[in-house]
Amino acid sequence: MDLSLSSFSFLFLAKPVTTQASGRKIKRKKKEKGQAAAARLTVARAGGQARSMVPPDAPVPKRKLPIAKLAVVAVVLLVGAVLVLRGINLGAVKDRGMAIIRDTGPVAYFGAMTVLPAVGVPMLAFTIPAGEAFGPRFGLGGVIAIAAVVLAVNLALTYWLARYALRPVLTGLLKRYGYSVPRVTPENALTIALLVRLTPGPPYALQGYILGIAELPFRLYMIVSWLCMLPWAVGAIVLGQGILNGNFKLAAAGLAVIVAAVGAVQLVRRRFAKREN
Q: What is the pLDDT of residue 174?
A: 81
Q: How many angstroms separate the Cα of 261 from the Cα of each of 3, 199, 234?
A: 77, 13, 10
Span 108-133, average pLDDT: 94
Give percent above pLDDT 70 in the chain. Answer: 66
- Looking at the DSSP bridge assignments, the partners of residue 50 are 44
Whole-number mean pLDDT of the chain? 77
Q: Give tens-digit pLDDT for 20-38.
A: 555 555 556 555 655 554 4
Q: State how beta strands 50-52 and 42-44 pair.
A: antiparallel
Helix axes 189-198, 218-245, angle to 10 degrees: 20
Which secondary structure element, helix H or strand E, spans residue 131, and what is its range? Answer: helix 124-160
Q: Give tens-digit pLDDT for 179-230.
A: 778 888 888 888 889 888 888 777 888 899 989 998 999 999 999 999 999 9
The pTM of this model reads 0.67
Indicate whether 109 pLDDT > 80: yes
User: Would you list the domain boundaries of the chain?
Assistant: 106-276
Q: What is the pLDDT of residue 48?
A: 44
* Closest C-alpha among 266, 267, 269, 276 to residue 55: 276
Indicate whether 94 pLDDT > 70: yes
Tell me how far apart the terminal alpha carbons of the chain are, to the nearest angstrom.
52
The pLDDT-based confidence of 86 (bands split at 50, 70, 90) is: low
Q: How far is CA 135 from the centre of its chain?
A: 30
- Looking at the DSSP bridge assignments, the partners of residue 44 are 50
Top-ranked range on mean pLDDT: pick from 6-20, 81-95, 131-145:
131-145
Span 50-66, average pLDDT: 44
Q: Give tens-digit pLDDT for 241-251.
A: 999 988 999 99
